[in-house]
Amino acid sequence: MKKIELLAPAGTKEAFYAAVNNGADAVYIGGKNFGARAYAQNFTNEEICELITYAHVRGVKVYVTINTIVFDSEWDELTSFLDFLYQTDVDALIVQDLGVMEYISKHYPSFTIHASTQVNVHSVNQAKTLQYFNVKRIVLAREVNLPLAKSIKDQTNLEIEVFAHGALCICYSGNCLMSSFIGKRSGNRGKCAQACRLPYKLGNNPSEKHYLSTKDLITLEYLDKIIESGIDSLKIEGRMKSPEYVAITTNIYRQAIDSFYDGKSFDINQAILELQTAFNRQFTKGYLLDENNYSITNIESPNHQGILIGQVIGSKGEYLKIKLTYPLNIGDSIRIVGKESFGFTITKMKDLSFQDIKSASKECFILSNHIVNNGALVYLTKSIKQTLHTEETIKSNYKKIACFGKVSLQDNKLKLEITDGKNTVCVLSKGNVEKAERANITNERIFEQINKLGNTPYYFKNLTIDLPFAVFLPIKEINELRRQAIEELSYLRSKWNIRKPKIASPSIKPINVLPIEYSLKAKVTTEEQLQAVIEIGFQEIYVSNLELIHKYQKQYPKI
């Protein structure tokens, strides 16, 4: 069984390093334009080149988003960006605009196209149509459930990608107009105004609730079903999220996936607790796993919920007395929910004897500038231990690659051979070595210099020095030998895609799109609506009003 891909997000360099170093098989990023997350930091062309090399050296793919609707006035800028990406080693483009797909399939024969979730693919026929645009993978609409996803997979030659974790949208994938109407910014242009996260009044009820704010998706408990269905890629949402969030979610899903394939146990409850601490608006299994409609939204709050860890049971001066069900530490961030809600980071804690402490697990006092009623609930919104644990993995060279090295002589030159198990490089010193008489360089010194891999992504699992006699060679040349060998190995590891030349001719025949029969269907609730769709010529009409059905059914039997 081919192992399912884990695809992680990155909106910053630190998030990119976090994704790669915590086990992502691929990372998706955006340039400064044409991405559906215009308010993420995103990347310049130079940074994209740098990140692709970084990822490929470590065996990780990079996908670039071109997932907005493109205006005619932007076409020259778009094609210039596509030319740049084609010359780099980017592994795939995530595309929404069908016109852009057609252009790429005509002019860039080696480019792999992934149809974005913004294309809103939710049927076998839609998927088959996209095959004629040379699409290799479809990121299914979030409304598709697992049986339908499996059906699309089984009836096409396409790879199927689904969202596994993160924020959901209340609107149909790729069809949101609410942002542009309310916020004057279009999600299809990468500038979603997050209108679904706003409070609204319902009818004559004066109180406001977040009726449209969805919970966050989680599929951790159902990975076995998803993997067994034949899905090719699991996608974590979050190009606007912090590097710590990317690190935590990627690491947990990596562990869960590997545990499934290795047949090992995995502590799902602890993993969910960590995911809740990292970020959650409460969790839902989503439409992919047939969630009940009433369990999709959290109408009380659109923000990070954290985890419930205790309640306020008293106070002493500026300190609140807390009864805990979960450990608490100085540096943790909490939110207290009572008559009023507020959050802060803990700077001072005391035990029941009012002595300074750094952590507690049962009862304690915490410094607070707020007066709080007894019974107020305490939520952990950020764990300092979790943060410190992930900080190291965000550093660029946290993840190291095992290599084997050997130093020997060849034609009076020092030879360094390095292999990663797949790629092998051999480098010879520029100068000849001499048999040492007085000053000599010992095998131990050569080992020490070659083993200084420092701020590189490599380490020697084994390094042997096979020299018949003590040699004389300047230390500078030994260091240069190591540097050159590492540079050549990185080059071999980084070059994945061999591109065919771009096709510049505009006279290519258009793609023959698969013919599909369509029918017009509508659902109406008023007589005015019914008359309008009858006039247009809809093939099927669904009417919720029985009086209208009786009045029009003889005249229009397809009601």
DSSP 43-98: B-HHHHHHHHHHHHHTT-EEEEEE-S---GGGHHHHHHHHHHHHHTT--EEEE--H
Asked if pLDDT for residue 313 goes beyond 80, the answer is yes
More confident call, 384 vs 441: 384
Longest Cα–Cα distance of the chain, Å, equals 112
**How many Cα atoms are found within 13 Å in the side-chain-facing hemisphere of 293?**
1
Query: Degrees (nearest 5) of the Cα angle 395, 401, 406?
Result: 135
CA 397, CA 58: separation in Å to the nearest integer? 10
Do 214 and 302 meet the contact criterion of CB atoms below 8 Å apart?
Answer: no
pTM of the model: 0.87
Give 38's contacts (C-beta < 8 A, 6+ positions apart): 189, 190, 191
CA 92, CA 113: separation in Å to the nearest integer? 6
Asked if pLDDT for residue 107 goes beyond 90, the answer is yes
In terms of Cα–Cα distance, which of 199, 201, 223, 227 is closest to 213? 199
In terms of Cα–Cα distance, which of 489, 471, 476 is closest to 413? 471
pLDDT of the residue at 513: 52
DSSP letter at 351 equals: -
Query: What number is the average pLDDT over the span 479-504?
Result: 90
CA 363, CA 160: separation in Å to the nearest integer? 49
Domains and CATH numbers, the chain: 5-169+214-295 (3.20.20.70), 307-394 (2.40.30.10), 401-494 (no CATH), 521-552 (no CATH)
Confidence bin at 440 (pLDDT 50/70/90): low
Confidence bin at 505 (pLDDT 50/70/90): low
pLDDT of the residue at 512: 52
Residue 291 to residues 224, 288, 296, 474: CA-CA distances in angstroms? 17, 8, 7, 69
Asked if pLDDT for residue 282 goes beyond 60, the answer is yes
In terms of Cα–Cα distance, which of 318, 326, 373 is closest to 350? 318
Asked if pLDDT for residue 72 goes beyond 80, the answer is yes
391-434 pLDDT per residue, tens: 989 988 888 999 999 999 998 899 999 999 999 999 999 988 88
Query: What number is the average pLDDT over the span 110-122?
Result: 95
Hey, what amino acid is at 181?
F
164-197 pLDDT per residue, tens: 999 998 888 777 888 888 888 877 777 888 889 9
Return mean pLDDT, the chain: 91
In terms of Cα–Cα distance, which of 298, 126, 94 is closest to 196? 298
Query: What number is the average pLDDT over the span 494-523?
Result: 67
Residue 119 to residues 67, 113, 230: CA-CA distances in angstroms? 9, 13, 21
Do 384 and 391 meet the contact criterion of CB atoms below 8 Å apart?
Answer: no
Query: What number is the average pLDDT over the span 228-251?
Result: 96
Q: Please give the share of the chain, as a percent, with pLDDT higher than 90.
A: 70
Query: What number is the average pLDDT over the span 533-555?
Result: 81
User: Counting every residue, how long is the chain?
Assistant: 559
CA 184 from chain centre, in angstroms, equals 27
Do 210 and 298 meet the contact criterion of CB atoms below 8 Å apart?
Answer: yes
CA 487, CA 294: separation in Å to the nearest integer? 56
DSSP letter at 558 equals: T
Q: Please give the share of the chain, as a percent, with pLDDT higher than 70.
A: 96
- Tracing tokens 């290799």 back to the chain, one arrives at 136
